[in-house]
Structures are given as structure tokens and as C-alpha cells.
Amino acid sequence: MPSDHANPQSATSSVDFEKVGSEYFQQRELKKGAAGWVLLVGLGVAYVISGDYAGWNFGLAQGGWGGMFLATLLMAAMYLCMCFSLAELSSMIPTAGGGYGFARSAFGPWGGFLTGTAILIEYAIAPAAIAVFIGAYCQSLFGIGGWMIYLAFYIIFIAIHIFGVGEALKLMFIITAVAALALGVFLVAMVPHFNVANLLDIPVKDAVGASPFLPFGYVGVWAAIPYAIWFFLAVEGVPLAAEETKNPKRDLPRGLIGAMLVLVAFALLILVIGPGGAGSNALMASGNPLVEALAKAYGGSTWMGSFVNLVGLAGLIASFFSIIYAYSRQIFALSRAGYLPRKLSETNKSKAPVLALVIPGIIGFGLSLTGQGDLLILVAVFGATISYVLMMAAHITLRIRRPKMDRPYRTPGGIFTSGVALVLACIAVVAGFLVDPRVVIGAAIIYGVLIAYFAFYSRHHLVAGTPEEEFAAIQKAEEALH
């Protein structure tokens, strides 16, 4: 059993690799060439578009409109810088592992595992939060919500993914386009009712720096950050489609950056026009804020409210559907490489990793039964921000240590750009503790359990020959030549 002991003092020491036969990889194949860059833009928007429909508004209760606005600007800057950096990394290392593969190349197996499991926490928890919001929309539309809705959506959309990725990606694109249309209808309908005074109608509290713009004071800006992240959370999952993309070195950067530009536009328009038409105070605790905003602005139920409610469900479905895809690919990559139980990466005749789809779905359904969408957001944001710190550190490390690596796309601004994202990600990690430290500590405990699994077991049973390990081997060989 060959071991990776190239540098006993580094984080790559004390891991053991097992060689496997070709049959192992034949049982773990994804469908090649299922997506081009346009579908990847749609996938990136699909991951996130539910954040425009529900969840962001809880930031109003933490920071007021001004606090949420400033937090959104900061997080938009972070995500833009991060997507430019991930575009470079994904063009260099186009594997289904995404962030795990990037950190594996920069920091070795330990770095890869820490990043991959942080991403996994994000993607496994986010659908549970979205399921709660879907339940709220269904309750408003049909009078039926709760666990039956959560279960039905998990079963239906996991089943579609099991059927095949090409069909799933095309369906996600259509659903996302419909959801974007509904956002357009909402914005047009709310513009005539816009009033600056509505943005600032939350009562001013007794806090340092409190004002109508920052009713909860300066600390409110920081506390609103996890909910500002909800406008963009999971767009970084586009590289997870690398092994199912026609031309990953070209298409992944286009998909990432294109999706992010669309999301920034939607986030700023929704945040300004929604509360500006209905009032920040009326929306800050709502489970379906866009529908309530229309009802408040128009004095009751209207066809526009019904349309946005009905089609808005498509936005929630798009994110729910696509993030299920994302968590399955992250689990697939980690399992194929031996970081998680190998059985999880086996694929069916449609090249779909069945257990990687089903098992997190069961866990997510159980979490959705709490009904605490706002707190589940915090858990997802914890995992996300940890992964952002590690991925941006990977970008900087690879730029410094391996400047001669082939980079089909190069990040504008280089390590300055990824450095800005790194600093803002560190701020975002701390922000979650300001909202509810118990929830974030709970998420950290889950992370610790996963780390213990790697430390005591799976690091001694890693698989040689996976795409991520092949990239690492090639890099070592090139370094030896220089």
C-alpha cells in the first residue's frame, strides 16, 4: 500500500493510497459533455435564484435596510472576486471535486478534505432551508405545507436526478428562466410604489451608530452578512459540473462569471425595489416576502401576487433542484477518492451517483422538519464561508508556488483579487456568530465529526488514480523537473 510521505512536515503526510483497478472507475463514471457554457450560466443562477424569493429579507431584521444594503455590497464584492478566482482554478483543475480539487492541489489531502466537507455542509443543508421556504409558498398558494411538501419535493427531484444529468440540467434551465421572468414581473409591478421612506421604516434601536439608515447600529451590518450571502450562496458550485461539461477549460469560467453578473443585478434590484415599495418592516420576518410586498403595495391579493407566488415557486424549485445536483457531485468526488465511504460514488446506468443523491436527501428532509429556514441558512453559510477562505487561500498558494501551471483563464488582478475575497470571507465566517452562536457552534461540531472520520480512518484508505490525485502527481513531477 503506497503512502504519500513526500514531505513529512507538511499537511500531506500520514496519508495512505490504495491502487484500484479500472473496474473501480468504470463503476464511477459521470455523463460526459452534458453541458455547454449557456447551461452552466443557467446552473449558476439556478443554484441561487431562490435567495431572491426568500431568506434575504431576514437580514432586514438584523441590520435594517441600510445594514442589509451595505452587507450585500460587501458580499457582492466578495463573490465577484471569488468567481474570478474560481474561474482560473476551474480552468486549471476541471474535475467534479470543484473546491476540494483546488485545495487538494494547493495543500494536499488534508486541505482537500477540509474544503470538500465544508462545501458538503453548505450543499447538504441549503436544500433543507429551501424546502422550508417552498412549504411556506405552497401553504400560501394551496393551503398545504409542512412535512408532506418537504418529502414530496425531495422524492420527486432526487428521482429526476437519478434518471439522468442531461435531462436534469435542461429542466433546471427552463425552470430558472421562468423564475427569472417572475422576478421581472415583480420588479415592474413594485416600481410605481417605490418610496425612499419605505426603506427606512424600521424603528431605531438603542445601539452604537443607530440611525434610520442603520436602525440596529453598526453591528447590524455585520449581523446581516449571512443573509446577504443568501443572494449569492452556491454560485461557486458551477465547477462541480466540470466532468460533465463539453469544454470545461473554456465553459467553466464563462458559466461562473456570467451567472454572477446576473445574480448581482437581481440582488440589488430586489433589495431596493421590494422594501422600497412595501416597507422594510413589513418584510423582515416573512416566509414569502415578494408576495407579501405585492399585497402590501396593492392593498391585497392581485393577479400579479398570484403569478409571482405561483411562478416564484419555480425559483425555489430551481435552487432546490440544482443544489441537490451540487451536493451529489461533491460527495461523488470525495467518495471516489476515498475521503468518504466509496460506495457513495457508484453510478447507475444513467451515470448518476444514486447513494450520493439519496442519503443527503434523507438527512436534509429530517432537518427541514425543524421549520427553521433562517437558522438552516446560518448552518449552510458556515460551511460556505469556511470553504471560501480555503479556496481563496488555494488560489493565492498556487499562484505563488506554481506560477508555471497552465492557466487557460487568468484572474484579473491576480492574488489581489483573491486576497480581497479571502479577507471578506474571514469577516463572513465571524458574522454568523453574531446572529445565533449556538447554531454555528452546532455546525462546527458536525464539521469536527467529519474531520475526525478522516483523521482516524479515511486518510489511510485514499484511492490512487482519481483525477484530483492525477493532477497532484503531475504537479509534483513538474516541480521535480524545475
Residue 170 lies in a domain: yes
Grade residue 476 by pLDDT with cuts at 50, 70 and 90.
low
pLDDT of residue 161: 86
Cβ pair 440, 433 in contact under 8 A: yes
Q: What's the average model confidence in pLDDT over 267-291?
A: 94
Higher-pLDDT residue of 422 and 99 is: 422
pLDDT of residue 137: 82
Grade residue 482 by pLDDT with cuts at 50, 70 and 90.
low
Grade residue 84 by pLDDT with cuts at 50, 70 and 90.
very high
pLDDT at 92 > cutoff 50: yes
Residue 236 lies in a domain: yes
Grade residue 7 by pLDDT with cuts at 50, 70 and 90.
very low
**What is the average pLDDT value for the chain, to the nearest integer?**
89
pLDDT of residue 394: 96
Q: What's the average model confidence in pLDDT over 150-161?
A: 92
Which pairs count as long-range contacts for 467-471, CB under 8 Å and 24+ apart, including other chains?
467/95, 467/96, 467/97, 467/101, 467/243, 468/93, 468/95, 468/97, 468/100, 468/101, 468/104, 468/105, 468/112, 468/333, 468/337, 469/17, 469/104, 469/337, 471/93, 471/95, 471/101, 471/104, 471/105
pLDDT of residue 473: 67
pLDDT of residue 85: 97
Question: Quick check: helix, strand or coil at residue 181?
Answer: helix
Q: What is the DSSP code (8-state) at residue 30? A: P
Give every CB contact of residue 249 below 8 A, 6+ residues apart in sequence: 91, 94, 408, 409
Cell of 193: 410604489
- What angle separates helix 303-336 from helix 165-190, to the nearest 10 degrees? 150
pLDDT of residue 3: 41
**Range scoring the smallest mean pLDDT among 8-17, 260-269, 301-310, 315-324:** 8-17
The predicted-structure confidence for 316-374, as pLDDT tens digits, reads as follows 888 898 889 889 989 998 999 999 999 999 998 888 899 999 999 999 999 999 988 88
What share of the chain in percent tops pLDDT 70? 93
**pTM of the complete model:** 0.88
Residue 181 lies in a domain: yes
The predicted-structure confidence for 123-143, as pLDDT tens digits, reads as follows 999 999 999 989 988 887 888
Grade residue 159 by pLDDT with cuts at 50, 70 and 90.
very high
pLDDT of residue 60: 97
Residue 33 lies in a domain: no
Residue 5 lies in a domain: no
* DSSP notation for 278-302: H-HHHHTT-SSHHHHHHHHHHTS--
pLDDT of residue 9: 35
pLDDT at 8 > cutoff 70: no
CA 104 to chain centre: 19
- C-alpha distance from residue 218 to each of 67, 70, 223, 482 (Å): 8, 10, 9, 51
pLDDT at 4 > cutoff 80: no
Range of the domain at 104: 38-472
What share of the chain in percent tops pLDDT 90? 58
Q: What is the DSSP code (8-state) at residue 237? A: G
The predicted-structure confidence for 428-475, as pLDDT tens digits, reads as follows 998 888 788 888 888 999 999 999 999 999 999 999 888 777 777 666
pLDDT of residue 37: 78
Tracing cell 434601536 back to the chain, one arrives at: 205
Residue 388 lies in a domain: yes
pLDDT of residue 6: 38
Report the domain count for the chain: 1
CA dihedral 230, 361, 338, 471 (to 10 degrees): -40
The predicted-structure confidence for 218-260, as pLDDT tens digits, reads as follows 999 999 999 999 999 989 988 888 877 888 888 899 999 999 9
Grade residue 397 by pLDDT with cuts at 50, 70 and 90.
very high
* CATH number, domain with residue 447: 1.20.1740.10
Grade residue 167 by pLDDT with cuts at 50, 70 and 90.
low
pLDDT of residue 210: 94
Q: What's the average model confidence in pLDDT over 90-107?
A: 88
pLDDT of residue 247: 85
Q: What's the average model confidence in pLDDT over 60-78?
A: 97
Q: What is the DSSP code (8-state) at residue 35? A: B
pLDDT of residue 351: 85
CA 336 to chain centre: 21
Residue 375 lies in a domain: yes
pLDDT at 425 > cutoff 90: yes
